[in-house]
Chain A
Amino acid sequence: MAPTGNDLQQIAEQVWVSYLDTDGEKPLVPVPPDKLSKEVVAAVAVSGAWHGLVLIACSRPASREAAAALLGMGADEVTEGDIDDALGELANVIGGNVKSLLPEPCVLGLPDVRSDVEGDPWLNGDEICRFEATWMGEPMEVSVLEKPADHGEEPA
């Protein structure tokens, strides 16, 4: 039992419809962007019968728009703290749903949000699935990274 890119797409689309695109005007488009971005990465660790991370990665403008949509404010009013809270919660919701597709028993960690993670060992691991999309013209990516058991709880 392992999640697939289609599973991630279904989960992400459900999250968008529920929280970020409630009026249907800002849909998550399942078209890979020209270039992916890891300017902002939010992840939750999963540990137990399976170890790894469930990640959402996007550009900084996309992270601001996500925080603005979730917190009901203008994108120009969004602070770093707002981005951490909003992206962290998106990772938490997506991670919780991915966890139900992983071997049991597993425990979900608390969200961890980082910026400019290029080369960060936090992201080392085997990617088992990915969903790439475009949101408001910006890159958005959801992925699942499997890690050795002794590294599974790094970000908690």
Chain B
Amino acid sequence: MVIDDSRAMRLILRRIVSGLNFEVVEAGNGREAMDRLAELEAVPELALIDWNMPEMNGLEFVTAVRADKKFRGMTLMMVTTESEHGQIVRALAAGAHEYVIKPFTPDAIVDKLVMLGLIPDGAHA
């Protein structure tokens, strides 16, 4: 699942993860993502989450997902411009597994996914 209020950023992230054989669902903010989660039959394996979004921001989304046991198997990765140490700590404390700071290269996302064990090393040429 790719959650970002920017269509351009959703497209960039979609290209990266669909190239790794993930099926991608998009949402424009945390609220929309919660609605999509309620509709989906299977819990997504991974969510890439922007921080600054209207209606429900990324940190609120992480907190909401972590409060629901149904989503415990979901890996949450913040992909955001928020680069201060305090913000990273807040996101990880709320339940995010990983943190990528924009701007990023595709390799930065791939490396994190390898580290999280979601794809094998060398999956992305």
Contacts and interface: CB of A to CB of B under 8 A. Distances in A.
Given A71-B7, A72-B11, A89-B8, A100 B103 contact: no
B19 to A, nearest CB: 13
B102 A96 contact: yes
B52 A110 contact: yes
Q: Chain B contact residues: over half helix, strand or loop, or mixed?
A: loop
Contacts of A104: 84, 86
A97 B84 CA distance: 9
B81 A93 contact: yes
Given A15-B103, A93-B103, A104-B86, A88 B6 contact: yes
A128 B78 CA distance: 30
For chain B, the bracket of interface size reads: 20 to 34
A83 to B, nearest CB: 10
Interface of B: 5-9, 11-12, 15, 52-54, 80-84, 86, 101-105
Query: 5 tightest A-B contacts by CB?
Result: A96-B81, A18-B103, A89-B6, A70-B8, A100-B83
Interface of A: 14-15, 17-19, 67, 70-72, 82, 85-86, 88-89, 92-93, 95-97, 99-100, 104-105, 108-110
